[in-house]
Amino acid sequence: MRILLTNDDGIYAPGLRALLPELRKLGEVVVVAPAAEQSAVGHSVTLTTPLIVQPVLGDDGQPMGWAVEGRPADCVKLAIRELLAQPPDLIVSGLNAGSNAGINVLYSGTVAAAIEGAFFRVTSIACSQEYRKLEPINFARGAALSRGVVEQIMQRRPPTGSLFNVNIPSSDKGPIRGVKVLPQNMAPYIEGYDRRTDPRGRVYFWSTPDFNCPDPHPDTDVTALAEGYITVTPLQFNLTDAARLQAMQDWPWAPLVDGVTDITKSQPKE
């Protein structure tokens, strides 16, 4: 099996380095990842600046892949379009330092790289490791568990282009309680900002690392992760609101002429 490994923490991130040998147990792995950290960039891509690519060696001194001065989605695009001799059978993005559960998937560069892979009809899996800021991350544990989930997903031969989001609970929660396949939580997170003043008297804000979901929906990825379960969520990138689409197709749209509309023609008479 040919595997493309990428991430958003950067090609030198310990999470990626821990996941690499684990994925090599499943097949041939090539790394194409950002040259620097790209956390929370979402699905942005580079348009107006060049994407500089440099070959990178692994810890064993052998060629490992390429570092790209771009976004996670750029890495997947370049890998498939330009860098790989053959398209991969699987794309894995991770192992991210921090969970990507709930609405955080919309901000995540880790998940965005997996979504980009699914665009190309390649089965793609985003893997993230929950952790508490004051404690070291056990990436070796998280990588081994991630590989176990990836292996089981691929054993079931998911349809081409399938997309999955995997979260590994923090090691301080004790032994893994199991694996749960659950929907993405849609309750909002509470975030904070540290208000400061610079030496010139200008006010600025710095996003704090502490955020939480105080009222998560039950039986979702956020709640199960908090309980010590590995969570797996199948995702899709079609954002169309099907029910609203059908309702809007029955609207009496007013005629438009050169961008000007007379909405009175579409209003019911009293």
Strand, helix or coil at 198?
Answer: coil
pLDDT in tens, 144-198: 999 999 999 999 999 999 999 999 999 888 899 999 999 999 988 888 889 999 9
Q: What's the pLDDT score for residue 136?
A: 82
User: Comparing C-alpha atoms, which of 60, 59, 5 is closest to residue 30?
Assistant: 5
Task: Pull the structure tokens for residue 264.
Answer: 């009175």
Distances (CA, A) of 258 to 31, 93, 135, 253, 255: 51, 46, 61, 15, 10
- Phi and psi angles of residue 106, each rounded to the nearest 5 degrees, phi first: -75, -25
**Quick check: 81 and 51 in contact, CB under 8 A?**
no
Q: What's the pLDDT score for residue 269?
A: 52
Q: What's the pLDDT score for residue 217?
A: 85
DSSP 23: H
Q: For the whole model, what pTM was predicted? A: 0.91
Only one residue has tokens 């952790």, namely 131
Q: What's the pLDDT score for residue 131?
A: 86
Give the chain's radius of gyration (CA, Å): 22
Mean pLDDT computed over 36-41 = 92
2-186+214-241 folds as Stationary-phase Survival Protein Sure Homolog; Chain: A, (3.40.1210)
pLDDT in tens, 97-150: 999 999 999 999 999 999 999 999 999 999 999 987 667 889 999 999 999 999
pLDDT in tens, 71-104: 999 999 999 999 999 999 999 999 999 999 999 9
Residue 26 clears pLDDT 90, i.e. is over it: yes
| Rounded CA separation 61/75 (Å) | 22
Residue 270 clears pLDDT 70, i.e. is over it: no
| Rounded CA separation 248/43 (Å) | 28
Residue 216 clears pLDDT 80, i.e. is over it: yes
Task: Pull the structure tokens for residue 186.
Answer: 């849609």
Q: What's the pLDDT score for residue 263?
A: 59
Task: Pull the structure tokens for residue 235.
Answer: 């995702």
Q: What's the pLDDT score for residue 266?
A: 53
| Rounded CA separation 90/115 (Å) | 12
Helices vs. strands in the chain: H and E counts, helices first: 6, 13
pLDDT above 70 covers a percentage of the chain that reads 95
Mean pLDDT computed over 208-237 = 89
Residue 208 clears pLDDT 90, i.e. is over it: no
